[in-house]
Structure 1
C-alpha cells in the first residue's frame, strides 16, 4: 500500500510514529499540527491477536471526532482539532507521555483478575484510578504515581512531576464523568476507559491520542451480556469473518448512538429587573449564563408597581419551558424575588444590584422573605449564573460538564499559581 502524500488538503511530511491501528504524520506547512490516520485494523493482547477489519478506520475516526467534540465543548483541554477525511483528523502536535490512565466505575476484567477477592460489579465511588506504563514487550505493567514521578520524564521542556501527575489524574476523572453522563443519556453504562496525555509545543498538558470503541467498556442498559466494545473481540478464542462483522456492527452502533447523545438546548434563564437602571448588572449575569451553555432573556417588570404584569410574564414562560430558572434583580425593597417565588414552582434566585452605600439594607430585603417562600440570594452576577447552571445541569449533562470542567480549571489554576510562587521564592532565596 502506497504512502499518501496529501489528505484533506494537508500536505503530509514524515511519519512521526506508526502504531498497530494508526499512523501519525507531520504537517510541514502547518506548524504545531499533525495528522492521525486510522487503519482498518483491530488488535488485542499487545498485538498478539490482530485482524484486518474493513471500515474500522472510518468508524473509529467518526467515533473519536464525536467524543472529542463533546469534551471540547465542555472546555476540556484536548489536542483534537478537526476531522479532515473519513479516516483522518488533525491534532495539535504533542510529545506523548507513555502512560495509560484507566478509570473504572465497576470492577471487571483485568482488575478482578489482579484482585480476585473483589467481586465483579463492585462499584467504585469515586471512580477507581489506575496507571500503566506503555510497554508492549512487558504487557503494559501497572505503575504507581510515585513511579511516574520518579521516571523523570520530560517532554517539550516540561518535566513530569507531582503537579503534572495531579493535573492528569484530575482531568482523567473529569473526562470519565462527562462521558459517563453522556452515555447515561442513551441508557448505556460506561464501565471503564483509558486515555492518554501529551505535552504540546507550548508545554501544555493536553488530552491526546484517540478515544473510540477500543478505549472503553460500554454496556447498554448496564448489562454485561449486551457489551458493544472491543471486549467482544478480546473474548473470541477463534475469529471468523462473521465474528468480525459482529464486532464491526457493534462499533457502528456506538458511533451512531453518539449522533443522538446531545440533549436539546431547551433551557432558559429569565432575568427580570425591577428597573432599566439595573440593565448593566443583568447583562453581566446573562454573559456568565451564556458561557455556561445557558440561554438567557432579560425583562423589565416591577412586582410593586405592576404585579399582574409580573405574574403574566411568569405564566408565559411557564407555558413554554420545562427547564426554567428565574433570576430577580431588584434593589432597595426587593419584592420581585419573593413575589416570583410565591407564584411559581420554578427556582427563583435573587441577585440584587447592591451598592456600597446601601448593601446591608438591600441584602436584608432579599434575605428576609416571608415563610413558605424558597428563593435564594447571591450578590455577584457570576454566582447567580453558576447557581442557575447547577439547577439546570441536574437534567442536562452538557451544562453539568461545563461546571465540572470549571472546577477542574480552578484546581489547575491554583496549582500553576502555587508552582509560580514557589519558583519565585526559590529565586529570591538564591539571590
Structure 2
C-alpha cells in the first residue's frame, strides 16, 4: 500500500526515511555516522498505518526504550545521546548509524499469535517441534528464538527457520543474534515479572557498528515490539489482555468500524484513541515505576 507519512522538520537534520512509526534523520553538518531517530504518534494495525494517531505514543516508546537500554547495560546498543532539538524533545534519540541485519530477532516465552497459528497447523513454531497439547498462552521453557524476515512497510513479516538466518547472515552472526535475543528476553522477563507483568514475546533488531560490533538498535521492549500481559489476569487457553494496541485491533475488526480490510482503515473513535493512550502509559508506569509526565 502507498505510505507517505508527514514528519517533523528538525533544525540541523535532514529527513531520510520513515517507517511505520519512526522517522530517521541525517545530520546536515558534522560526522555522518549518527542518525536522529524520532518516534511519531503513528499507529499501525493489520499492516496498515492508520490515519489516526495516539497522543504521546512516541514519547512513551522512546522513554520506555531508554529505560530498558539502561536495564540491559551489558548489551551494546546504539544510543549516543538524548540531547536533541526541542522540536522532538522526549521522543528522539541520537544514535550510532548501524548496518542493520535483515532479520527480525524474536524470542517467544509463551505460545500465542502467529506462533500459535503455526503450532495448530503443524505442531511447530518456525519449524521447531513443540509438545502436543499446548494452548493459547502456554509457557515455553526454554524460550524459543523464532526469527522472521523483514518486510517492507505495509507488508507482513514472514516467520523463517534458523537455517534461513544462517544462510542470510552467516553461521557466526546467526548464533550471536540468537544468544543475544534470548539473553535480552531472559533478563527482561524477570524484570517484568517482578512488576506483575508477563513478557510473552519480544522482537529486537541488531546491526553492525562501524567497528564491526553487533549492536542492539531500533526500539526495545515496548508495547509495539512486545506482548505484555497482566500476570494477575493470566489464564492459559484463551487470548490474554495485552498492554498494546488491542483496543485498536478489536475495534477495527468489529461491526462498528465497517472496515472491509481492503481499503484503508477508518479513523479511530476518540474513545478508542484515549483508551489506547492510557494502556501505553500504564505499561510504561508499571514497568518503570515512574510517572509519565
* Helix, strand or coil at the partner of 1:65: helix
Equivalent of 1:131 in 143, 147, 150:
147
In the comparison of the two structures, how many residue pairs are matched? Answer: 246
Partner residue in 1 for 2:126? none
TM-score computed with the length of structure 1 as normaliser? 0.53
CA distance in 2, matches of 1:56, 1:234: 16
Task: Determine if contact 2:26/2:35 at 8 Å carries over to the other structure.
Answer: yes
Partner residue in 2 for 1:119? 135
Task: Determine if contact 1:43/1:51 at 8 Å carries over to the other structure.
Answer: no
TM superposition shift of 1:50: 5.3
Higher RCO structure, 1 or 2 (CA under 8 Å, sep 6+): 2
Higher mean displacement: 85-94 or 43-52: 43-52
TM-score computed with the length of structure 2 as normaliser? 0.77
More helix by share: 1
TM superposition shift of 1:120: 1.3
Partner residue in 2 for 1:227? 242
Higher mean displacement: 228-237 or 214-223: 228-237
CA distance in 2, matches of 1:206, 1:195: 11
Does 2:179 match 1:179? Answer: no
CA distance in 2, matches of 1:255, 1:120: 25
Structure with the greater alpha carbon radius of gyration: 1
Partner residue in 1 for 2:9? 4
Kindly provide the CA deviation profile for residues 173-193 of structure 1, in whole angstroms up to 9, marking residues without a partner as x: 011111111111211111111
Q: CA RMSD in A?
A: 2.1
Partner residue in 1 for 2:261? none
* Helix, strand or coil at the partner of 1:235: helix
Change in CA separation of 1:48 and 1:92 when aligned onto 2, cut-off 3 Å: closer
Does 2:93 match 1:89? Answer: yes
Partner residue in 2 for 1:25? 25
* Helix, strand or coil at the partner of 1:214: coil
CA distance in 2, matches of 1:222, 1:205: 37
- Within 5 A, what are the aligned runs for 1:7-406? 11-12=12-13, 14-27=14-27, 28-47=29-48, 49=50, 51-72=52-73, 75-84=74-83, 85-116=89-120, 118-136=134-152, 139-151=156-168, 160-211=169-220, 212-221=222-231, 223-224=233-234, 225-236=240-251, 237=253, 238=257, 239-260=268-289
Partner residue in 2 for 1:380? none
TM superposition shift of 1:222: 5.0
Task: Determine if contact 2:198/2:231 at 8 Å carries over to the other structure.
Answer: yes
Structure 1: tracts of 5 or more residues without a match: 152-159, 262-431
Task: Determine if contact 1:189/1:222 at 8 Å carries over to the other structure.
Answer: no
* Helix, strand or coil at the partner of 1:4: coil
Task: Determine if contact 1:63/1:254 at 8 Å carries over to the other structure.
Answer: no
CA distance in 1, matches of 2:80, 2:38: 14
Structure 2: tracts of 5 or more residues without a match: 1-5, 84-88, 124-133, 235-239, 258-267
Change in CA separation of 1:98 and 1:231 when aligned onto 2, cut-off 3 Å: farther
